[in-house]
Structure 1
């Protein structure tokens, strides 16, 4: 891949696995320096050893308010600037609402919604001052379809899509692009919480995406001419509707 992100600094949350890892790898291949944010210190250190100075490991528990607020200051301390934020960290709660643990609901909504809002809130002043920046939020196909087996998770992603579309309209005048990517089911750790029958059905039907395929679309969004914003992309396996 051409070094189309040469000289750029990106921060990716939930970067140690799944979509976050694939997105980080794609940006690294394109020449970016990537601050990989995750709470898994062991995984981040291994990634840093494999990629050298291009990877900046940043161990943060985003569910801790103090640590969450430290994200941008720590990024700037290590890199001096931030061009791209991929707000990707998230967790999943599926199944019937009556069976859901309310503490798990709180935790999921905090990470999937509140943390995303706080991360974007915190990086905006830096990007506004520089007159440029890209923010991509990982949403979900569930944000566009009232998925009956995941009402809590789907609701968090509907909230994220509203947030992305409204914030974009506030900050585009500052040269900042804000968009979301909404993949269908991706082969990742999140699927471990899927109802077993749904997961078996999806695997048999070939209706799952690879994280690398999502990363390719993230790169497409980041590499459009500055006069173009890809506000949201819905991507799903061709066999999804089988």
Structure 2
């Protein structure tokens, strides 16, 4: 049987670890070539070496405006086209708002919102011309639930969830699908910034999910018939509400 993404090219931001790496592995297994985008050159090189010749590294610091603007030209230079874009890179700021530093707030909102919007805008120029394409944005359960221990992070995800759903209504007529995946707590490096008591509570109650489980759902979204859009998937550990 032909792999479902055979002949396709995907690009994933924040691809050297966590959900980004898991998504990359799923896309590769489905037959795609994948451009892995990350600012950590060493981690990216190690990841691509482990994943094989269809894993193509692209070192970018998306918080640098010039490098951010170069994403699509660099992807096209390496792979010639783009069929799937997974906007996954993000930062986390948790805890009480009064404890958050201005520069940390600016940095997180820039990456979680502004960079995603700019990347998706640039990707759409290419996909609209080709009249096809898929965009997945990593959102969060925090986009659907007023999480009291992470008001800054949750606000960024509420904003980006609105962005995904409004852009979806603009681009479906061009044959482009865009959707969000909204996981609950995932075992990634972002959890290192969680309040210690919330992290221990989540671990003790079994309220965490694996990045590979998120990647399985990403692949499910991408492999539906073209006449179907999975608009938003909210995933959470079964024990999350305990």
Which residue in the other structure is 1:78 paired with? 78
Which residue in the other structure is 1:113 paired with? 113
Q: How does 1:113-192 map onto structure 2 within 5 Å? A: 113-192=113-192
Which residue in the other structure is 2:94 paired with? 94
CA positional deviation for 1:51: 2.7
Give secondary structure in 2 for the equivalent of 1:10: strand
The two structures have a TM-score, normalised by structure 1, of 0.99
CA positional deviation for 1:49: 1.8
Give secondary structure in 1 for the equivalent of 2:239: coil
Q: How does 1:18-57 map onto structure 2 within 5 Å? A: 18-57=18-57
What are the superposed Cα offsets for residues 102-136 of structure 1, whole Å, 9 maximum, x if unpaired?
10000000000000000000010110010000000
* 1-structure distance, mates of 2:2, 2:37: 25
What are the superposed Cα offsets for residues 170-189 of structure 1, whole Å, 9 maximum, x if unpaired?
00000000000000000000
* 1-structure distance, mates of 2:22, 2:2: 17
Is 1:218 the counterpart of 2:213? The answer is no
Question: Is the contact made by 2:23 and 2:212 (CA closer than 8 Å) also made in structure 1?
Answer: yes
CA positional deviation for 1:52: 2.8
Give secondary structure in 2 for the equivalent of 1:53: coil
CA positional deviation for 1:2: 6.0
RMSD of Structure 2 on Structure 1 (CA): 0.9
* 2-structure distance, mates of 1:156, 1:97: 14
Runs of at least 4 residues of structure 1 off by over 3 A?
A: none
* 2-structure distance, mates of 1:34, 1:48: 10
* 2-structure distance, mates of 1:126, 1:120: 10
Which residue in the other structure is 2:7 paired with? 7
Gaps of 5+ in 1: none
Residues 23/2 of structure 1: CA separation in 2 closer, same or farther (3 Å cut): farther
* 1-structure distance, mates of 2:46, 2:137: 25
- Figure out how many residues of one structure are paired with residues of the other and give that number: 242
Give secondary structure in 2 for the equivalent of 1:11: strand
Q: How does 1:221-236 map onto structure 2 within 5 Å? A: 221-236=221-236
Which residue in the other structure is 1:69 paired with? 69
CA positional deviation for 1:53: 2.1
